[in-house]
Chain A
C-alpha cells in the first residue's frame, strides 16, 4: 500500500506528465544516463554492471558443458535467470523467485533468444550430446525503476564480454586447451520500456513513475529495427494507437542507445 507522501507525489507526477514534463526534468522520451562497466567479476566468463540512473543491475555469464534440447541437437542452450536480491529494495523478500523476477528473466530471455543474438549453432561440441550451456544470471542491486531495460542491457553487455575456453576432443572427452575466444554474438537487442501515466506514454520510468503508472509496455528491437519481443504489464490497458506509437518510438530509441554504446 502506498504512503501519503507517495500519493502526493503520484498526483504531482501525473499532472506534470499531462503537461509534457517529468519530476526529474527529463522529456517524455528521454532515458536516464546509462553507464556500463564490463568484466567486473573475474571468475565469471563474462560480466557487466549497468547503471540506469540510480537503478543498478549486474549480470554474470557462466558457461558449462551440458546436453542440448532434443529439438535443437546442434545448438547451445541459453538460460536466463533473475534475482531480485533483498538488498536492492525494501519490497524485495528473500526466497524462491516470485512472479516478478520470473517475468523479468523471461522478458530478457525472449529478447536475446528471439533476436538470435547468440550464435547458438556455434556452441555445439558433439551434436545431440554435448553443447555449451550459457547461463545468464541477472542480479538486481538497486531498484529505482525500469528493471527490464537495465537488465536487458546488462545481459547483452555481459554476453559481449564473455570468453569461451578453447577445447579439443580426445577419445570422446572434452579437453580444455589454453586460451580463450569470444562468445559469438550477432545481434544486440535493446529493450525499451514505456509507462502509461495519465493516458500519456513515457519511456524509462523510474521508481515513483512506476508506482504511478497504469500499465507498462516493453518492446525489444534488434539491430535491423525489427521487433523481437514485447510484453505488456500492469493492471491498466493501452489503445491500439498507443501500441503503434510506442513501436515507432522504441525503434528510434533502440537505435539511439545502440549508437551511444557502439553496439
Chain B
C-alpha cells in the first residue's frame, strides 16, 4: 500500500530538511505577545507555532481546591483543530491530558510556589501548528510566559528532544522523523541547576544509544536556553525613554 519509505538520512548524513544530526531547527521566540495575559510567549520552532499564556497568581475557584501553603499550578496543553493534517477534535484527548500533566510537572520545580498561598496560576498552551516536538517547544514558551508574568523562579526551563531515525541519533525531531523514526526522548532542563524536570521516552534504544540521545537532548536544551534569555532581553532590556 504505502510507497517505499524515503530515507530519513541521505548519503551525506543530512536530514530531510538538510540539517545535520546535531542541528536544531530555526527557532524564533517572542515574549509578551498577548495584552490580556499577565505573561505570554510565542515560539516558532521549524513549523511548530505555539502560544503560551500565564494568568495569575489569582483567586482559585472552586475555593476548596486552594492550598494553605502554596499556589496551585494548573496547565492546559491544547492543540488547535487545524494544527495537524487531519482535523483534530477540539475536545481534550488522552494525549493532551497526559501532556498537560507532564508539562506542569516540568515547570513546577522551577517556581517558588510557596510565595503565593491560597492562589492559582494558570498556564494555557495553544498549539497553532504542530510539526513534532510540540511538548518541548511548549515548555520552552511556557517558562518564558511565567517569567514574563513576573512569577519568581529559580531558573528558566528549556526543553528539547532527541531520537533515533535510520539508526542515527538526531536532535530536535520534526514530525516526519518522529513518526518514522524508532525512538524519541524529550527532555526538559533547568540549566543552572543541571536539573532534569521532564524525561520521557518511547521507542527502542540500547543503553549506549540512550546515553547519546540523552546527552544530545541536554545540549539542545542549553542552546535553547541561550535563545530564551535573548528573547527576554529583547523585551526587557530595551526600555524606551519616555518624554516628559
Interfacial residues, chain A to chain B (CB-CB below 8 A) = 1, 73, 97, 99, 102-103, 105-106, 110, 113-116, 127-128, 217, 222, 225-240, 243-244, 247-248, 251
Contact = CB atoms under 8 A, between A and B. Distances in A.
Contacts of A102: 94, 97-98, 101
B95 to A, nearest CB: 8
13 contacts: A99-B97, A99-B100, A106-B94, A115-B204, A127-B1, A226-B206, A227-B206, A228-B202, A235-B105, A237-B190, A237-B193, A237-B197, A240-B214
A1 to B, nearest CB: 7
A116 to B, nearest CB: 8
Nearest to A230: B201
Question: Among B68, B193, B198, B201, which residue has the most Cβ atoms of chain A within 10 A?
Answer: B201
A124 to B, nearest CB: 12
Interface in B193-244: 193-207, 210-211, 214-215, 218
B199 A230 contact: yes
B149 interface: no
A233 B194 contact: no
Contacts of A243: 196, 199, 214
Contacts of B200: 230-232
A110 B94 CA distance: 13
Given A226-B206, A235-B105, 9 more contacts: A99-B97, A105-B94, A127-B1, A229-B201, A230-B201, A231-B102, A231-B199, A232-B102, A240-B194
Contacts of B109: 235-237
Nearest to A237: B195
Given A99-B101, A227-B210, A238 B204 contact: no
Contacts of A114: 202-204
A237 B102 contact: no
Given A230-B185, A235-B109, A225 B206 contact: yes
B134 to A, nearest CB: 16
B108 interface: yes
Contacts of B100: 99
B234 to A, nearest CB: 28
B67 interface: yes
Contact of A226 (B1, B194, B199, B204): B204
Nearest to A103: B98
Contacts of B206: 225-227
A226 B98 contact: no
Interface string B39-61: 00000000000000000000000
